Amino acid sequence: MSDTKTYNGSCFCGAVQFTVTGEPAAMGYCHCESCRHWSAGPVNAFSLWQPDAVKVTQGEDKIGTYHKTPNSYRKWCQSCGGHIFSEHPGMGLTDVYAAVIPDLQFKPAVHVNYQETRLRIKDGLPKLKDFPKEMGGSGVILEE
Ligand SMILES: [Zn+2]
Ligand SMILES: [Zn+2]
């Protein structure tokens, strides 16, 4: 058998349960206005996964979806309002918020959209102005 890891996640109240399997494609922090405004926090700790790595195991009917743009379909629990994950169809990846999968060891590698930051973080990781070049961004690195 494979040693593929599975991590359990849930919304704030636990009505929605899900698993993510394997390893994330990327982990880091996003400082963009959309992440800050929707999360009501200063920064979003993201982990990006192949969409089929994410499986809802309970409470599918409780999941609400909102999309302001076609880039991000934001999912939350309609019972507690807790955020779960966002699908990014253009990127072909799903952002499972690191905070909702506590078993996953969060190993951030990059900060994105740092030009919009409201919380400077001096952790020595690269601070991208927007997105990496391979994801359609400028790839420009800013000062911490
Ligand atoms: Zn909930
Ligand atoms: Zn963002």
Q: In whole angstroms, what is the distance from residue 11 CA to residue 81 CA?
A: 8
Residues 6-27 pLDDT 10s: 999 999 999 999 999 999 999 9
29 CA → ligand 1 middle, Å = 24
Q: In whole angstroms, what is the distance from residue 82 CA to residue 139 CA?
A: 32
Residues 38-82 pLDDT 10s: 999 999 999 999 999 999 999 999 999 999 999 999 999 999 999
* Type of residue at 129: K
Cα 42 versus chain centre, distance: 14
The closest of 48, 19, 22 to 35, measured between CA atoms, is: 48
57 CA → ligand 2 middle, Å = 26
22 CA → ligand 2 middle, Å = 23
Provide the pLDDT confidence category of residue 3 given band limits of 50, 70 and 90: confident
Q: Is the pLDDT of residue 127 over 80?
A: yes
Return the pLDDT at 102.
95
The closest of 65, 58, 66 to 15, measured between CA atoms, is: 58
- Ligand 1 ion: residues within 5 Å (CB): 11, 13, 15, 77, 79-80, 82
Q: Is the pLDDT of residue 1 over 60?
A: no
Tell me which architecture the domain covering 6-142 has in CATH: Beta Complex (2.170)
Return the pLDDT at 32.
97
Residues 82-116 pLDDT 10s: 999 999 999 999 999 999 999 999 999 999 999 99
**Average pLDDT estimate for 120-142:** 96
55 CA → ligand 2 middle, Å = 23
Return the pLDDT at 22.
97
Pairing outcome for strands 110-112 and 26-30:
parallel
29 CA → ligand 2 middle, Å = 8
111 CA → ligand 2 middle, Å = 10
Return the pLDDT at 46.
98
Six token digits for residue 134: 């391979």
Closest ligand to residue 75's CA: 1
The closest of 119, 110, 84, 98 to 45, measured between CA atoms, is: 98
62 CA → ligand 1 middle, Å = 8
Q: In whole angstroms, what is the distance from residue 46 CA to residue 27 CA?
A: 6
DSSP 70-119: TT-EEEEETTT--EEEEEETTTTEEEEEGGG-TTS-----EEESGGG-SS
Q: Is the pLDDT of residue 2 over 90?
A: no
Closest ligand to residue 64's CA: 1
* Residue bearing tokens 């740092």: 114
